[in-house]
C-alpha cells in the first residue's frame, strides 16, 4: 500500500492534497489577514465594495474562462475580443470614428446606447461563433484559432480607432462605467 492509502484508511490528513485543493483560498485568507493587520481600514465595507467594483469585469471574464478551461479548452482571444467589441460599441454610439479625441458631445451623430450595446453583443457572438466553428468543425487546434483571433481582434481595434481613444459620448453612453443600479456600480 502507498502512504496515501494508509493515511486515508487511518483517517489522517493529507497535507499535500489539502494544499493542492485549498492553497489559493488559504493564500487569499492569509493576504486578507496581513493587509488587515497592516491597515485596519482594509476590511471597511467601503473598501471591500471598492475592491469588488474594480474586479467586476475581470471576475466575469474569469468566470467564463473557467468553463472553457474545465472543458479542457483554451481561449487566448478573450481580452482582444472584449476590446474589439468595446470599440464597435464606441463607433456605433458615436456614429463613426470622427472626433476621436473630442471632449465635446455637441453635434454627435451616433445611434445611441442600445444600438451600441446590441452591436457589441452581435459582433462578439459572431466572432465567437466563427472561432468555435473553426475549432469544432474544421478541427483547427484551439490554441492556434484563439491566438490568431487575439492578433486579428487587437489589430482591428487599433485600426478602427487609429491607435487612439474614442471619447465625447453623450450621457446615456457614459452611464456604462459610471452609473449605479441601486448601490451597485455599473461596470465599464
Provide the residue-wise pLDDT of the chain in tens; the chain has 188 residues: 455 555 455 667 788 888 888 888 999 999 999 999 999 999 999 998 888 878 877 888 889 899 988 988 899 999 999 999 999 999 998 887 665 544 445 555 678 888 999 999 999 999 999 999 999 999 999 999 999 999 999 999 999 988 888 877 777 777 776 777 776 666 65
Half-sphere exposure of 90 (CA within 13 A, CB side): 21
State how far Cα 35 lies from the chain centre: 26
Residue 12's Cβ-side half-sphere holds a number of Cα atoms within 13 Å equal to: 10
**Distance separating alpha carbons of residues 120 and 126, to the nearest angstrom:** 10
Q: Break the chain into its structural domains and give their ranges.
A: 1-43, 56-185
What pLDDT is attached to residue 9?
Answer: 54
Amino acid at each position: 500500500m502507498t502512504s496515501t492509502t494508509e493515511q486515508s484508511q487511518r483517517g489522517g490528513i493529507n497535507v499535500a492534497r489539502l494544499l493542492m485543493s485549498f492553497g489559493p483560498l488559504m493564500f487569499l485568507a492569509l493576504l486578507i489577514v496581513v493587509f488587515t493587520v497592516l491597515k485596519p481600514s482594509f476590511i471597511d465595507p467601503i473598501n471591500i465594495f471598492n475592491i469588488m467594483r474594480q474586479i467586476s469585469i475581470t471576475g466575469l471574464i474569469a468566470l467564463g474562462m473557467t468553463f472553457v478551461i474545465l472543458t479542457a479548452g483554451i481561449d487566448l482571444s478573450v481580452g482582444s475580443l472584449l476590446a474589439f467589441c468595446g470599440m464597435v460599441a464606441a463607433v456605433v454610439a458615436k456614429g463613426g470614428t470622427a472626433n476621436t479625441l473630442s471632449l465635446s458631445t455637441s453635434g454627435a451623430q451616433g445611434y445611441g446606447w442600445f444600438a451600441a450595446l446590441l452591436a457589441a453583443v452581435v459582433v462578439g457572438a459572431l466572432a465567437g461563433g466563427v472561432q468555435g466553428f473553426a475549432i469544432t468543425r474544421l478541427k483547427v487546434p484551439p490554441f492556434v484559432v484563439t491566438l490568431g483571433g487575439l492578433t486579428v481582434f487587437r489589430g482591428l481595434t487599433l485600426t478602427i480607432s487609429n491607435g487612439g481613444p474614442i471619447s465625447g459620448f453623450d450621457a446615456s453612453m457614459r452611464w456604462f462605467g459610471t452609473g449605479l443600479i441601486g448601490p451597485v456600480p455599473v461596470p465599464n
